[in-house]
Amino acid sequence: MKQKFAFVFFFVLFVVAVAFSRQKPKLIVLVSIDQMIPEYFERYDKQLSGGLKRFSAEGIVFTNTTLNYASSETGPGHATISTGSYPATSGILANEWYDPKTLKRVNCAEDSTAKPVDGEGGGFSPKNLVVTALGDWLKAESPVSKVVSVSAKDRAAILMGGKRPNHAFWYDRKSGRMVTSSYYAKAIPEWARKFNEANWVEKNLPGSWWKLKPAGDYEMDGPDELKGEMIWGMSSSFPHQFAIERRNDQILTSPWGDMLVLDFARAAIDAEKLGQRALTDILFIGLSCTDYVGHSFGPNSHEIHDHLLRLDQALGTFISDVEKIAGSGNVLFVLSSDHGVMPLPEHVTNVAKGYARRLLVDSVTVPKVTGLERQLQKELNTSEWLISRNGFLNYEVARKGKFSHRRFEEKVREGLLSIDGIADVFFKRELTGKKTRPRQYLGHFQRSYYAPRGEDFQLLFCENCLPTTRPTGTSHGSAYKYDNHIPLIFMGWGLKPARVTRETHSVDIAPTLARILDVPYPKTVDGSPLSEVRR
């Protein structure tokens, strides 16, 4: 009898355990911090105590997650997170590309048929995304579930939201308001209208941005004033004054832009009852200001340091609010990023005493490509264009001058590789063909290349070289580790803290979440569910 009782007892325990492990989160909050690098968590660890700290201390931290493709930009980054597909599959191969037919520049999220709503926003939709995303997969199985995507940047909100979210909102830097387009809504929902009417910027943005902590806390960063940093007002050092006539724009290069988006996300949770019903909702939040601050001052600046300390606090408050609303075991938080960043070249050379440099594209590289084109024109006895600045080649004129496709490419490759700063050239044939001679970064460029929208050739610049037109600021966009390595952390929903060091990729995020939600996803998805993310 005793034995039977024990058996029943353990059987019930087992059933409860299985039911618990199968219980889906009521809310997934996926936070993408634009241009976030994993190194920040370690570098500032002792000074963090809010949301960033909670992610690194309580989450399953994947320490070796990369994009695994070359175009480390915001559009491809966010499309990859939500679709589980490389740019070669999602069609979002870059922030902008040149249409091979019209040779016109296309923005990854533009849509001229998407009109303003209530007189605001418009112009953008996921029209250019050729696959579906996590939110679409969920809504196909559970149409009542809600998917909401918000960000300061249109392309981040739109590409994470997928094809048919309930709402996608982004920040309008002229008006200081959160806007959408007619693709998503006929009218602005009441809660968003109220949020805008409360005029967040006027109410919350201080007159200037001061350091949060005592000066000693920033000593590890080297000097605040550094050549190569953006000049704000008269210098590149703290404090930074906001000008009343420019503050709607300046807020983005400060922690307050992210605070605005988090407050807007909070309003969406309340009004749309996200995570408060017996099903799963998804909230995508794109926090863009790390990118603006990083571009302007670099990833080792006092500005990025202070920005992250303030973001840590704002995110901490946001996370505990969401846990109170939806119940702490019911929310699965995910933190990742769309790409990394190259250190400011001047910081590398003057402070870290390493090697890095600016490659002045307009004044140095382009004239050399023009020289190469002139030389080829002479050889082919033509005055017609041969190499466009947008990455197209005039194969037809080359053929008339008796250069075969291959011969022409060999000439172009040889010429381009002789130009300072150009490390490799990948032609369309190499990016789409299966028999291309393997070489470093070929796979990265292939996974970035969506043939119907791709140029005739793509360039790999040298490592630690910043292709730029300006003497200040830094950027991203390469296949190198500094641009490719991103954080990936899953936290909450009863997950136990862990560190996973094996190589993983951002394409794995969407299938991992789809598996947790038990929703099927298309066979075209490039990533795989991460088995470590289980209760």
Q: Is 531 exposed, middle or buried (0-12, 13-18, 19+ CB in 10 A)?
A: exposed
- Which of the following is catalytic: 74, 80, 83, 280? 74
Q: How far is the CB of 337 from Zn ion (least distance, A)?
A: 8
Whose Cβ is closer to Zn ion: residue 35's or residue 85's?
35
- The three-state secondary structure class of 241 is strand
Per CB under 5 A, the segment of 89-97, 289-297, 365-373, 435-443 that binds Zn ion is 289-297
Q: With binding defined as CB under 5 A, does residue 74 bind Zn ion?
A: yes
Nearer to Zn ion, 292 or 457 (CB): 292
Residue identified by tokens 């970035």 is 448
Residues that contact Zn ion, how many (by CB under 5 A): 4
Name 56's Cβ contacts closer than 8 Å, sequence gap at least 6.
41, 45, 48, 489
CA–CA dist 521, 535 (Å, integer): 22
Q: Smallest gap, in angstroms, from Cβ of residue 73 to Zn ion?
A: 6
Query: How near is the Cβ of 81 to Zn ion at its closest, in Å?
Result: 11
Candidates 17-25, 32-40, 351-359, 481-489 — which segment interacts with Zn ion by CB under 5 A?
Answer: 32-40
Residues numbered 325-344 forming contacts with Zn ion, rule: CB under 5 A: 338
Measured from the CB of residue 74, what is the shortest distance to Zn ion in angstroms? 3
Among 25, 29, 34, 290, binds Zn ion (CB under 5 A): 34
Stretch that binds Zn ion, among 29-37, 82-90, 100-108, 498-506 (CB under 5 A): 29-37
Stretch that binds Zn ion, among 74-82, 302-310, 407-415, 522-530 (CB under 5 A): 74-82
Measured CA to CA, the distance from residue 270 to residue 277 in angstroms comes to 12
State the Cα–Cα distance between residues 96 and 104, nearest whole angstrom.
Answer: 10
First to last CA, the chain: 34
The residues in 397-436 that bind Zn ion, with binding defined as CB under 5 A, are none
Site string for Zn ion, 249-288 (x = CB under 5 A): ----------------------------------------
Rank residues 117 and 311 by Cβ distance to Zn ion and give the closer one. Answer: 311
CB of 74 or CB of 236, closer to Zn ion: 74
- For residue 255, the minimal CB distance to Zn ion (Å) is 17
Q: Which stretch binds Zn ion (CB under 5 A): 70-78, 97-105, 361-369, 376-384?
A: 70-78
Q: Residue 190: enclosing H or E segment and its boundaries?
A: helix 190-197
Minimum distance from CB of 109 to Zn ion (Å)? 13
> Is-catalytic flag, 74?
yes
User: Of 177, 178, 167, 304, nearest to 229 (Cα)?
Assistant: 304
From the CB of 400, what's the least distance to Zn ion, in Å? 42
Closest approach of Cβ 50 to Zn ion, in Å?
22
CB-based burial label for 102 (10 Å; 0-12, 13-18, 19+): exposed
Nearest to 293 by CA among 30, 482, 35, 488: 35
User: Half-sphere exposure of residue 482, counting CA atoms within 13 Å on the CB side?
Assistant: 20
Instruction: Considering only residues 442 through 501, tell me which ones interact with Zn ion, judged by CB under 5 A.
Output: none
Residues 6+ apart with CB under 8 A from 416: 369, 372, 422, 425, 459
In one letter, which amino acid is 501? T
By beta-carbon proximity to Zn ion, the closer residue of 95 and 388 is 95
Tokens of 56: 């690194």
Nearer to Zn ion, 154 or 338 (CB): 338
| 279 CB burial (10 A radius; 0-12, 13-18, 19+) | middle
Nearer to Zn ion, 288 or 300 (CB): 288
Residue nearest to Zn ion (CB): 74
Rg of the chain (C-alpha set): 25
Q: Which is nearer to Zn ion, 146 or 339 (CB)?
A: 339
Nearer CB in complex with Zn ion: 145/290: 290
Whole-number Cα distances in Å, 495 to 306, 334, 392, 514: 30, 12, 49, 16
Residues contacting residue 219 through CB under 8 Å, at least 6 positions apart: none
In whole angstroms, the minimum distance from the beta carbon of 458 to Zn ion comes to: 19
- Provide the residue type at 516 as one letter: I
Q: Which of 65/280 has CB closer to Zn ion?
A: 65
Residue 147: its H or E element: strand 147-151
468 Cβ contact list (under 8 Å, min separation 6): 358, 359, 360, 361, 475
Vertex 483, ends 415 and 253: CA angle to 5°? Answer: 115
Beta strand pairing status for 27-33 and 281-287? parallel
Contact predicate 280/137, CB 8 Å:
no
Residue 295 structure tokens: 């571009």
Quote the least distance from Cβ 361 to Zn ion, whole Å.
20
Catalytic residues: 74
Residues that bind Zn ion (CB under 5 A): 34, 74, 291, 338
